[in-house]
Structure 1
Amino acid sequence: MIIGLAIFFTILSLIASYRVVIGPTITDRLIGADTIGIFMSMVMLMIALYYDIALLVDIILAYAVLLFIDMLIYAKYFEHGELYK
């Protein structure tokens, strides 16, 4: 069941990669890249649960926080045109 979910999230990330490559605006591409990051963190979480690796869960949480901060930085940059305003 867990491996099936990991495969499902991998397929979803491949579908989201279409939006990253073809996306008409930069916002679509950023949302697609963030979606891929979320799906890949879910795949890593499924693998950590399947193999019972507790350290990997901590790494995934740090990765999720970095994804969130990354999107905040991109949003601020594309709203104002610079980061320090």
Structure 2
Amino acid sequence: MIIGLAIFFTILSLIVSYRVVIGPTITDRLIGADTIGIFMSIVMLMIALEYDIALLVDIVLAYAVLLFIDMLIYAKYFEHGELYK
């Protein structure tokens, strides 16, 4: 069941990658890239739970924090036009 959900989220990531490549605006591309990152972290978490790999859970948490910080940096850049204002 968990592996089936992991495959489902991987297929969803492939569908969202269309928005990253063809997205009409840069915002659409960034949101698509963040969505792919979230889906892949969910897949890694499901694999960690299925195969009982505790270290992978820590890696997923660190990856999620980096995704959050990444989106904050992009939001600040697109709001002000520069990062250090």
- CA distance, structure 2, for counterparts of residue 17 and residue 75 of structure 1: 20
User: How far does residue 2 in structure 1 lie from its aligned partner after superposition?
Assistant: 0.4
Instruction: Report the TM-score when normalising by structure 2.
Output: 0.98
Q: Determine the C-alpha separation between the residues in 1 that align with 2:45 and 2:9.
A: 11
Q: How does 1:45-84 map to 2 (within 5 A)?
A: 45-84=45-84
| TM-score, normalisation: structure 1 | 0.98
Q: Identity of paired residues, percent?
A: 95
- Runs of 4+ in structure 1 over 2 Å off: none
CA distance in 2, matches of 1:32, 1:79: 19
SS in 2 for 1:55: helix
Q: Which runs of 5+ in 1 are unaligned?
A: none
Aligned-pair CA distance for 1:77 = 0.5
Question: Deviations along 1:43-80, whole A, 9 cap, x unmatched?
Answer: 10011011100111011001000000000000100111
**1:7-27 deviations in Å (ceiling 9; x for gaps):** 000000000000000000000
Count of residues in correspondence between the two structures = 85
Query: 1:4 deviation in Å?
Result: 0.2
Q: 2:8 — aligned with what?
A: 8
Matches of 1:81 and 1:51 in 2, distance apart? Answer: 45
Equivalent in the alignment of 2:32: 32
Distance in 2 separating the partners of 1:22 and 1:44: 26
